[in-house]
Structure 1
């Protein structure tokens, strides 16, 4: 793992350059979307056979498949899922917004009406991997928001089945619409609908580059959560931190993907050297060591700052998806952190605690977008309507100003709409 010294503006080098897909990939995605729009279920089935190697005649998950999934999971794993659901639901319930109204002295009533989306589609990666945590983190905020219809799409394995963990997680949350479909074809089906799948209003959830490009293309037809890049972690540490624990946390993200980024920023050269040694040693013992090695070599780095204040500045420039603060007094630095998707304070708040169990959402902004965006939450599944009930007194007092404002913009009909109410009734 490389060690570099930084100070001041050198911190900008922390940001990665992430590919947004090739023109060929985009053309492929557009062709898939067009085919699904034209041929519906038949196109989805054909693409599922082509890309996933699975023959799926009935994409909707049956009650029997749910029952079999429960039989394939250990009872302890089911209880773990239930505990995680409790924690995640409890956290997200605190995010719930309510409608509000207020009255002015002239009798005008103004306000904001909060309404849940009618429907949402959740994409859950599948095939060779299983991500029940994606089910929990995307479905629970939608449920808390009050979304009436939630649909899950996930690519099947070659045997035409979905992960038992994914199915049990969905069942525990009461999701009944689950489809065996993945890739750009699933995004197209959720956005435009097919003969058997009604379209949704919003699509959330992670996926590969084809899923990401498809979400970008259907945005406007539906809403989406974000275009997320590969996972990333930054650790802000001083000389009191444990090198072995830091190395383990860095590798927890490196094993995700060869494009994942793992960064340590510290003001201690001694700690930096110790962490580099630990990363090299622990890497050799990982089952996914080849993936982690490519991640560490290409997108991992240890930065040594002159001061802890410089280290904090570097973190704010990076705006990482996950930030661990492993210093003598981590809470004292919290107020100085401006940009991070999720912040983990202290040695017992290892990043996987947030991935699975603590309660906050693990769908987070990546590649510096934490500078202007936030984690997935309940508000992403709600919409706001402004409420205006103007009183006669307020109207008569302000009609002239409103009409004048309209004419200032050259919109005469706007002005006359106001003035029509000032005339005596016929």
Structure 2
């Protein structure tokens, strides 16, 4: 009989999951979004939480139901296409975007406030040290649950709680007025901003890391793994929601401190200093450093495990290459890296959402390969136009403009829902025919 986890171990597992998700994007995007949304804060928060909390949670559930990560969810696709999608997502979350972004944000918020300004030498040296430490922790997955879940995350939560308490007791200022673009569609813009956290993509990877952590604890039973994955996801979702709401209000009440900020770091640094004084910058450095480090470790471990299991590559070598690549890309610059990633995420995120939806609603829409390929194909086709539009590449807007929410960057949503509805209708029709024949 498999021995289950104790309550403390389940909490540690949830803390580890929370720490993996709480990284660079989770810290820098909510303050800027809160500043932009301001008087339209509530619908913007709801939209953001749907893609930055709700979707990652249901993705972990889908991973648990499928008994595997992205490669299992995409098995309905032709093998070559499934592998290409998996490799693309792992590279996006590995050395191309998410992992180097973690190092960049740690540098921008953790070190530059104490310098005269960022410069290439300090950034290069910081990146070298940050990703050397990431590599050291990533190749020791057996220690992840104990180190991250039991020590780093509780400290991280304590520091973030201090920000929330100060925000309640000593507000930075009054909530400002939203800008015109946000006032027109605060929910849709918040929804799309949630893409930028990359948490739904991360959930496709972290599920495998959590399962391996459970196996290291002797949990081999699939039902127990499913149960503990759901528990860990719920703990992480609650924690993330509280962090996001806190940071949204930090941004919404900081309008008088900043003028035309280019990124969330330019909102967060003066806001934290206003709350805590100069000592707040040290608090910020610790919070951001821990959050970004744990996320970078989780992403690096996931990439190493995937390429080891799929292609037989040495895990330590893959982890080393991911860290070297991330250290190099991290020197591009934060705003430049975010700008490059937006069109890519506008395309890949809807495909990931469709994969999760097909697993969650398999009982309703069926699991026929051609049907799943239809849903994924329709989603990818229309998401491609959203991505091209975000990249400022001309698209046939004359007919795309008729799609609901296309102007908001969600042109893929209605066609994807119609494809799912068609599958559900066909499945129901097949069931009725079988009942008649009986």
TM-score, length of structure 2 as denominator length = 0.24
Higher relative contact order (CA 8 A, sep 6+): 2
Q: Which has the higher helix share?
A: 2
Larger Rg: 1
TM-score w.r.t. the length of structure 1 is 0.24
